[in-house]
Amino acid sequence: MPLLKVDRLKTHFFVGSPFRRQKTVIRAVDGVSFELERGETLALVGESGCGKTTAARSVLRLEEPTAGSAVFDLDGELVSIFDLDKESLRRWRRKAQMAFQDPFGSLNPRMNVADIVTEGLRIHRLCRPSAKWERAAELLESVGMDARHAALYPHEFSGGQRQRIGIARALALEPDLIAADEPVSALDVSAQAQVVNLMQDLQERMGLSYLFISHDLSVVRHIADRVAVMYLGKIVETGPKAELYENPVHPYTKALLSAVPSLDPSAGRSVLRLSGDAPSPANPPSGCAFHPRCPMAEASCANAPQTLVNIGGGRAVACHLVTGSEERSHSPRKETK
């Protein structure tokens, strides 16, 4: 049994004017299914607005899902996350934590670091006030910081250090799962590398599972075991990282990967350009939602909605041009840089 199994998750938002009866439905997440094993990192990737953050927040019950289910292995007991009563929800929250994108905005500037990292312990009554400094020192040392930092305030740290404090706070309750929402996107490249290495080191030591949300496929390449590519609220391709990076099959995945900068200037790169912006989830295109931007679209793509189909090797793709593990020949519009 995986640590987490999410099935057909939908999170829709209903927005509108108080003067109009009809509301607009924003289909932020629209039928997403995935599994996460213990000690594994699953990256949810895609452009801004594709629903990856909402999917993670829904799983952590920070957004109210509209439909679907999520089952979590809570110390050997399988619990349905969306049906938990108050007491079970409290117990489960200790096992599933979130690391946020903005390492400054997510830390209370009025609290010192000791109070920040031990806040969860205090809420769950797992730490006596007299033990606060000792526990804070342990947590800070576990993320490569000095115990003396416990008395300082968030503004006294660099972005990378603040993100480490955010991770220390997430670790305080000894979770099994951390959903990390763009945890390094606000950092410079060297701080990114340090935080990614820290997360991998903690995963090895503590057996953590990560739901890693990112639009940066270079970072995902370093940390993920498996990748799920999202477009307009749905997963369009998923599979083990190595295979997906080596041989992407969905046109959207191909376009995303072709835009990743290469460190090898001699490697000729073909960039698959997408036209236009992603459509609004309030008004998704008919059929395959990617068809207005897809360089391989056919007339039929506008008619038939696409569902994920297993193509072997732990991979699944939502594109009718992909059959089995083979692709039909396409003639994509390519430009060579």
The residue ranges that bind ligand SF4 (CB under 6 A) are 250-251, 288, 290-291, 294, 296-297, 301, 306, 319-321
> How many other β-carbons are positioned within 10 Å of the β-carbon of residue 73?
18
Nearest distance from C-beta of residue 281 to ligand SF4, angstroms: 17
Q: Supply the minimum distance, in Å, between the C-beta of residue 6 and ligand SF4.
A: 23
Choose between 137 and 232: whose C-beta lies nearer to ligand SF4.
232
Pick 46 or 166: Cβ nearer ligand SF4? 46
Please tell me the distance from the alpha carbon of residue 226 to that of residue 44, in angstroms, as a whole number: 9
CA distance 26 to 85: 28
The distance of closest approach from Cβ of residue 289 to ligand SF4 in the complex, given in angstroms and rounded to an integer, is 8
At its nearest, how many Å lie between ligand SF4 and the CB of residue 243? 19
Q: How far apart are CA 242 and CA 58, in angstroms?
A: 28
Between 61 and 320, CB nearer to ligand SF4: 320
CB-CB neighbours of 204 under 10 Å? 10
Q: How many CB atoms lie within 10 A of CB 22?
A: 8
Does residue 164 sit in helix, strand or coil? helix
Comparing CB distances to ligand SF4, the nearer of 163 and 253 is 253
Residue of 314, 282, 232 lying closest to 2 (CA atoms): 314
Smallest distance from the beta carbon of 311 to ligand SF4, in angstroms? 13
- Residue whose CB is less far from ligand SF4, 89 or 302: 302
Q: Which amino acid is at 134?
A: E
What minimum distance in Å lies between the beta carbon of 295 and ligand SF4?
A: 8
Cβ neighbours of residue 324 under 8 Å, at least 6 residues apart?
311, 312
- State how far the Cα of 254 lies from the Cα of 334, in Å rounded to an integer: 11
Q: Tell me the C-alpha distance between 149 and 165, whole Å.
A: 10
Q: Which is nearer to ligand SF4, 98 or 272 (CB)?
A: 272
Our CB check for ligand SF4 shows the closer of 73 and 237 to be: 237
For residue 250, the minimal CB distance to ligand SF4 (Å) is 6
Interhelix angle 189-206/159-171, rounded to 10 degrees, is 20
Minimum distance of ligand SF4 from residue 26's CB (angstroms): 22
Question: Is residue 55 within 8 Å of 29, Cβ to Cβ?
Answer: yes
Strands (E), 75-225: 77-80, 96-99, 177-181, 209-214
User: Residue 260 is encoded by which pair of tokens?
Assistant: 């990743």
Residue located via tokens 């603040």: 162
The smaller minimum CB distance to ligand SF4, of residues 135 and 291, is found at 291
